[in-house]
Structure 1
Amino acid sequence: MKAKRIFSLLYLLFLSYVVFGIRVYPRMEVFKNIHIGYNLNILKRYSDINSLYKGKKIFENIDFWGNILLFVPVPFCLSALFGISKWSTLLLYGFLCSVAIEVVQFIFKIGFADINDVLTNTIGTLLGVLPGILWGKTKQQNKSQNGRNSYN
């Protein structure tokens, strides 16, 4: 249990660096050219946003898939740190974490606050929650097959 908490804390530190630190202390050239601003047009095509990043197509894919992949471990971390086990609560907290990140980016002008990031981060949280949901259903089916009432 202690290892899960340590991993979770390290991951959340890593996530904080990726979201805020790279933009404040850019090391790679691609992060030095990020414009500051916001997008509130939900489901705006990522190809439209490409012009903001000087036409670098690779950034479009990193932004989309990176946002999803970065949030896949979030439900595990929330569960390990706070003991949350209900999948809907984990999904809600993943969504709220994403909204908080975008609000901080907007208020402090750190990077580009984008409503689509909230959407892709929440998709990542959902992908992180799915194994737990499936494991719970499998566990419940095994109890039912053994003749036990699954509500006991």
Structure 2
Amino acid sequence: MKKKTINILLITPFVFYIGFLLWNILFKYVSPLEVFSGDRYCSRTINLIPFNDIIQGNYNKLDLFGNIILFIPLGIYISIFLKNKKIFKNILSIMIISLVFESCQYIFGIGATDVTDIITNTIGGAIGIFTYNVFIFVFKDEEKVKKIIAICSFLIMLVVSILLIGIIIAN
């Protein structure tokens, strides 16, 4: 497969994923056009106690595991695009990105800012980084791994797109 085709198969799902990430974290309650409107939903809460919801008995599996799953691809993409061999720096990048998302939720009043989300997002990203490194170890060829990830991410993007279209049509 040509390198240009692989890059298209990799970048297209990455752009889709970033949009999906923004939609699920920043714009699940308010559209990007409404962020600066005075007549919109506004929620500004902050939780600085890790796993406080679980301690309080408000355990939400979807919230906890959803954050982990949502950030696994980011760990893989950061490993590919940053080409940084230092795992700690890649994990730190994930944590900073998560911190920026959580800060934006608070600043713009578009969701609940929670330190638990930063922790679970970082765990998800670390799983993605680990997964990428396992692929490199198994296949011993970075270009081959990039092809595999490009094809898989493109197929996943198609499946998610179909599901989203189905949800939109059903509603």
The alignment's TM-score, normalised by the length of structure 2, stands at 0.63
Relative to 1, partners in 2 of residues 1:34 and 1:110: Cα closer, same or farther, differing over 3 Å? Answer: closer
Higher normalized contact order (CA 8 Å, seq sep 6+, divided by chain length): 2
Could you tell me how far apart the structure 1 residues matched to 2:43 and 2:109 are?
A: 10
- CA 120–88 in structure 1, closer or farther in 2 if over 3 Å, else same: same
State the 1:24 CA deviation. Answer: 1.1
1:15 to 21, 29, 36: 21
Identity %: 26
5+ unaligned residues in a row in structure 2: which ranges? 1-6, 32-40, 141-171
Asked whether 1:108 is paired with 2:108, we answer yes
Contact 1:5 1:77 in 2 (8 A): no
The residue number in structure 2 matching 1:62 is: 62
What does residue 51 of structure 2 align with? 43
| Cα drift, residue 122 of structure 1 | 0.6
Between the aligned partners of 2:133 and 2:80, the Cα distance in structure 1 is 16
Match of 1:147 in 2: none
Question: Could you tell me which amino acid in structure 1 is paired with residue 25 of structure 2?
Answer: V
After superposition, the C-alpha distances for 1:81-116 in whole angstroms (9 at most, x for unaligned) are 444454322211111111111111111111100001
Give the structure with higher Rg (CA): 1
Cα contact 1:87–1:133 (8 A) shared by 2:
no
Q: Which AA in structure 2 matches 1:21?
A: F
What is the total number of aligned residue pairs between the two structures? 125
* Aligned residue in 2 for 1:94: 94
CA distance in 1, matches of 2:86, 2:16: 23
